[in-house]
């Protein structure tokens, strides 16, 4: 495979941006679907970083790894969405601020 | 058989008995647990007899190492010599008789198996005490007999009427003994510091070579050590100032009073001082203190016994008084004489206590001699044996007490005729209160209740058999150590025998001349016979009775109230201690500590309440804090890296 012509720095900055957007989204948004999307965003920013460095170092291991992560993430998203649907049926809402039973 | 096997057998017999009865005794019928206890001690007695026949030279048996430090070792080692064998003979011999007696005496008791467990445990601890070859093993046994004494004094702690006072008596004995034990611990520390060993023979050897710095005749170190040892002896052997526990210890069952508080345990102090003779011989000052303390104790206790009305209390004070006599002998350096008196005293005092136990048993647990009288017809065997015991302790000619007391006053007379007079006075008092006790109990008219009269009976054979054996021993016990006046060959057999023990054969005594010995014996016999006649005339012919408490006057009040000794101790020690305790409770505890601790607790409580609010239950806020933490870590890492570069 040809070495990438794009500077690795851009990948790092993009991944960091995606991660920070995701993290902030989790912190400030209340909608559970948005929350799940934000988590996916953070996960995929890491995936992106993995693939970028894999190409950069000319080692394909991480790319295979990422396939697995995508598969597991899909399963995880399924579980998350199922929980979301059940929670909606139960509470008629997908606002996470309602889930505060752990309050001390 | 080899000595070490005999020794292990000897020690394990009573221990096994105690373990069997202690662990499984509840399931056994009474006769089984009683038999186990009695037979264990009986076989132990046979083993000691075997050792007695076999040992002619001191033998040291080292079983195993207990404690090992750089500078010194402490071994579980045992010294089997004439002194320890003789003590073991008394302990197991008298012990067997008293176990046998207890089988009858305790027959109506709930805690039968428990009683035999404690008794066997006591025998084990006492054997450790006399057989140990160093102060550590001695101390181990010393504490062992102390705990058994405590358990047995408070044996009837759940009695609805006397339970509390029994427990208090046990506690008093425990505390008083603890004061004395501190002396033994201090002495052991000083010995360890000076000699780097606790073995008797090694200390004696070092003293003999005279190479230890700071150790010489009457040097402060030796006097300190010996006085600490003597303090321990005053606790265990009930001397002034720590004797007050022994009369209270009569709260225990009567066989216990006979075995522990008359015949064996209270002589532990006498044994310990005798064993430490190599130290005391270097401290004449400590010996003088012993002499005077013993004399004061003998006199004070004899005085207190004059107007006691509890049959066991009289005997208790008499025990204290006789122990005082033994301590006088120790103070004179006449160790073998002290052991001789320990022996005869064990015979006749065990006899008297068991006799009183037989009386109490027959009188439906009545102990007040004002409620007795005329028992000689109802209890002929008890009466006869009690009479023998009384005569023996009163120094009636040719009975055992006569010889042993005569040896003590003989030595005292040779040393100091004035002190002889004082002790003679105490001996007269002994005869007076003993004959008073005897005549009031067994002569005159029956003064008890109708119920007691109809139930009064002679005790069963298990109780009278020990009485008869002890009576024979009380009569002939003096033959063990006949003065040279009577026979030429075999005189002073016990002294010669005990002189085989380390150190005892080296001590020289001024012997009283034949004439003065005869004179002293004559005076002693005359006194005891005179008191006997006085007692007969006063109590039988004139029918004098013990006065009731409100008729007492002058010295009688002092005697009946034990010279207010307990009250004085209460005022000087107990009350201030209570005041200090109250002060600490009400001021330090309640005003300082409790509010302080509560303030600390409420501080954490309030802080926790504030911190609790951080736990919102919202995952996003947790995440926020987490990210904040990560950022701070990164910032911290960056600052660190930059500043290092």
Q: Confirm if A104 and B612 have CB atoms less than 8 A apart.
A: yes
Q: Confirm if B345 and B258 have CB atoms less than 8 A apart.
A: no
- Point out the domain boundary residue: B518, B534, B560: B560
Query: Going along chain A, which residue ranges are E strands?
Result: none
Same domain membership, residue B436 and residue B391: yes
For chain B, the distance separating the N- and C-terminal CA atoms, rounded to the nearest angstrom, is 85
CB contact under 8 A, A27 and B619: no
pLDDT at B110: 83
For chain A, say whether B583 makes contact (Cβ under 8 Å).
Answer: no
pLDDT at B374: 85
Same domain membership, residue B509 and residue B432: yes
Whether residue B241 has a cis bond before it, omega within 30° of 0 = yes
For chain B, say whether A23 makes contact (Cβ under 8 Å).
Answer: yes
pLDDT at B511: 63
Contacts of B616 in chain A (CB under 8 A): 100, 103-104
The verdict on residue B638 lying in a domain is yes
Task: For residue B616, give the chain A residue with the closest CA.
Answer: A103
Same domain membership, residue B514 and residue B596: no
Q: Confirm if B433 and B305 have CB atoms less than 8 A apart.
A: yes
Same domain membership, residue B540 and residue B463: yes
**Band of residue A1 on the pLDDT scale cut at 50, 70, 90:** very low
Residues B34-39 have a mean pLDDT of: 93
pLDDT over threshold 90, residue B213: no
The verdict on residue B117 lying in a domain is no
Same domain membership, residue B553 and residue B612: no
The verdict on residue B17 lying in a domain is no
Same domain membership, residue B606 and residue B543: no
For chain B, say whether A10 makes contact (Cβ under 8 Å).
Answer: no
CA distance A97 to chain B (A): 6
A-B CB pairs within 8 A amount to 35
User: Per residue in A12-49, pLDDT tens?
Assistant: 999 999 999 998 898 888 888 898 999 999 999 999 99
For chain A, say whether B609 makes contact (Cβ under 8 Å).
Answer: no
Alpha helix (H) ranges present in B276-334?
A: 277-280, 284-305, 311-331
Domain count, chain B: 2
Same domain membership, residue B411 and residue B544: yes
List C-alpha distances in Å: B65 to B3, B11, B72, B76, B81.
Answer: 18, 17, 11, 6, 21
For chain B, say whether A79 makes contact (Cβ under 8 Å).
Answer: no
User: Per residue in B412-449, pLDDT tens?
Assistant: 888 888 999 999 999 999 999 999 999 999 998 888 88
The DSSP H or E segment spanning B43 is: helix B30-54
Same domain membership, residue B482 and residue B547: yes
The verdict on residue B347 lying in a domain is yes
Domain around B408: 334-560
Residues B14-33 have a mean pLDDT of: 91
CA distance A7 to chain B (A): 25
- Point out the domain boundary residue: B560, B589, B613: B560
Residues B231-236 have a mean pLDDT of: 94
Same domain membership, residue B520 and residue B380: yes
For chain A, say whether B635 makes contact (Cβ under 8 Å).
Answer: no
Q: What domains can you pick out in chain A, each with its CATH number?
A: 8-98 (1.10.287.3510)
Whole-number percent of chain A with pLDDT over 70: 93
CB contact under 8 A, B620 and A102: no
- Point out the domain boundary residue: B560, B590, B625: B560
Task: For residue A32, give the chain B residue with the closest CA.
Answer: B620
pLDDT over threshold 70, residue B1: no
CB contact under 8 A, B615 and A102: yes
Tokens of B320: 């204290």
Residues B81-97 have a mean pLDDT of: 94
Nearest-by-Cβ selection for B623 from A26, A30, A100: A26
CB contact under 8 A, B620 and A27: yes
User: Per residue in B353-402, pLDDT tens?
Assistant: 999 999 998 888 888 888 888 888 889 999 999 999 999 999 888 899 99
Same domain membership, residue B366 and residue B418: yes
For chain B, say whether A2 makes contact (Cβ under 8 Å).
Answer: no
Same domain membership, residue B482 and residue B409: yes
pLDDT over threshold 60, residue B479: yes
The verdict on residue B281 lying in a domain is no
- Choose the mutation target among B610, B613, B619, B626 for the interface with A, i.e. most A CBs under 10 Å: B619
pLDDT over threshold 90, residue B184: yes
pLDDT at A5: 67
The mean predicted confidence, pLDDT, of chain B is 90
CA distance A84 to chain B (A): 15
Residues A57-75 have a mean pLDDT of: 91
Same domain membership, residue B347 and residue B381: yes
Q: How far apart are CA B98 and CA B118, in angstroms?
A: 13
Residues B542-561 have a mean pLDDT of: 83
For chain A, say whether B614 makes contact (Cβ under 8 Å).
Answer: yes
Residues B447-452 have a mean pLDDT of: 85
Does the ipTM surpass 0.85?
no
CA distance A102 to chain B (A): 4
The verdict on residue B4 lying in a domain is no
Task: For residue B612, give the chain A residue with the closest CA.
Answer: A104
DSSP state of B368: B
The verdict on residue B439 lying in a domain is yes
The verdict on residue B377 lying in a domain is yes
List C-alpha distances in Å: A87 to A29, A75, A92, B410.
Answer: 17, 18, 8, 107
For chain A, say whether B627 makes contact (Cβ under 8 Å).
Answer: yes
């Amino acid at each position: 495979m040809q070495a990438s012509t794009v500077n690795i720095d851009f990948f790092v900055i993009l991944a960091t941006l995606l991660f920070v957007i995701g993290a902030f989204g989790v912190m400030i948004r209340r909608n559970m679907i948005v929350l799940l999307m934000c988590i996916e965003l953070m996960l995929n920013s890491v995936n992106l970083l993995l693939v970028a460095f894999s190409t950069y170092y000319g080692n394909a291991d991480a790319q295979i790894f990422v396939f697995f992560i995508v598969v597991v993430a899909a399963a995880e998203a399924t579980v998350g969405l199922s929980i979301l649907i059940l929670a909606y049926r139960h509470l008629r809402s997908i606002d996470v601020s309602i889930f505060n039973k752990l309050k001390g | 058989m080899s000595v070490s096997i005999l020794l292990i057998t000897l020690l394990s017999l009573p221990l096994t008995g105690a373990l069997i009865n202690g662990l499984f005794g509840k399931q056994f019928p009474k006769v089984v647990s009683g038999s186990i206890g009695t037979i264990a001690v009986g076989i132990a007695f046979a083993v000691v007899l075997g050792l007695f026949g076999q040992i002619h030279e001191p033998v040291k048996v080292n079983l195993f190492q207990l404690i090992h430090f750089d500078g010194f070792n402490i071994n579980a080692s045992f010294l089997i010599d004439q002194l320890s064998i003789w003590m073991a003979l008394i302990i197991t011999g008298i012990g067997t008789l008293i176990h046998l007696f207890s089988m009858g005496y305790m027959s109506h008791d709930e805690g039968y198996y428990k009683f035999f467990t404690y008794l066997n445990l006591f025998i084990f601890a006492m054997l450790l005490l006399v057989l140990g070859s160093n102060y550590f093993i001695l101390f181990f046994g010393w504490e062992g007999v102390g705990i058994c004494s405590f358990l047995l004094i408070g044996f009837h702690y759940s009695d609805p009427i006397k339970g509390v006072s029994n427990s208090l008596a046990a506690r008093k004995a425990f505390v008083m003994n603890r004061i004395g034990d501190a002396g033994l611990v201090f002495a052991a520390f000083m010995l360890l510091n000076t000699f780097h060993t606790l073995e008797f023979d090694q200390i004696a050897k070092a003293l003999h070579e005279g190479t230890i710095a700071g150790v010489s005749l009457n040097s402060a170190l030796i006097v300190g050590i010996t006085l600490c040892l003597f303090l321990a002896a005053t606790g265990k052997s009930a001397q002034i100032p720590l004797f007050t526990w022994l009369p209270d210890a009569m709260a225990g069952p009567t066989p216990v009073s006979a075995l522990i508080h008359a015949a064996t345990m209270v002589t532990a102090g006498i044994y310990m001082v005798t064993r430490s003779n190599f130290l005391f011989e270097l401290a004449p000052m400590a010996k003088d203190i012993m002499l005077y303390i013993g004399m004061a104790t003998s006199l004070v206790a004899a005085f207190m016994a004059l107007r006691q009305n509890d049959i066991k209390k009289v005997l208790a004070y008499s025990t204290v008084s006789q122990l005082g006599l033994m301590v006088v002998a120790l103070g004179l350096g006449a160790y073998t004489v002290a052991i001789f008196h320990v022996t005869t005293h064990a015979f006749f005092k065990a006899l008297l206590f068991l006799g009183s136990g037989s009386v109490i048993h027959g009188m439906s647990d009545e102990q007040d001699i004002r409620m007795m009288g005329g028992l000689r017809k109802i209890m002929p065997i008890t009466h006869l044996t009690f009479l023998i015991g009384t005569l023996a302790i009163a120094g009636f000619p040719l009975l055992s007490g006569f010889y042993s007391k005569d040896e003590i006053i003989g030595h005292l007379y040779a040393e100091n005729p004035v002190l002889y007079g004082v002790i003679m006075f105490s001996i007269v008092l002994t005869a007076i209160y003993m004959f008073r006790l005897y005549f009031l109990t067994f002569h005159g008219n029956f003064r008890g209740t109708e119920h007691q009269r109809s139930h009064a009976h002679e005790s069963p054979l298990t109780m009278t058999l020990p009485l008869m054996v002890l009576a024979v021993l009380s009569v002939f016990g003096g033959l063990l150590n006949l003065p040279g006046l009577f026979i030429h060959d075999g005189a002073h057999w016990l002294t010669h025998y005990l002189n085989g023990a380390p150190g005892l054969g080296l001590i020289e005594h001024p012997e009283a001349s034949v004439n003065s010995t005869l004179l002293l014996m004559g005076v002693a016999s005359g006194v005891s016979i005179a008191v006997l006649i006085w007692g007969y005339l006063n109590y039988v012919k004139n029918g004098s009775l013990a006065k009731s408490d409100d008729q007492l006057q002058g010295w009688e009040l002092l005697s009946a109230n034990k010279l207010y000794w307990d009250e004085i101790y209460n005022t000087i020690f107990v009350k201030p201690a209570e005041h200090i305790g109250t002060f600490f409770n009400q001021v330090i505890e309640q005003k300082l500590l409790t509010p302080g601790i509560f303030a600390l607790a409420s501080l954490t409580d309030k802080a926790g309440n504030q911190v609790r609010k951080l736990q919102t239950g919202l995952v996003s806020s947790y995440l926020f804090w987490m990210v904040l933490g990560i950022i701070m870590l990164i910032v911290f890492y960056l600052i660190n890296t930059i500043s290092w570069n």
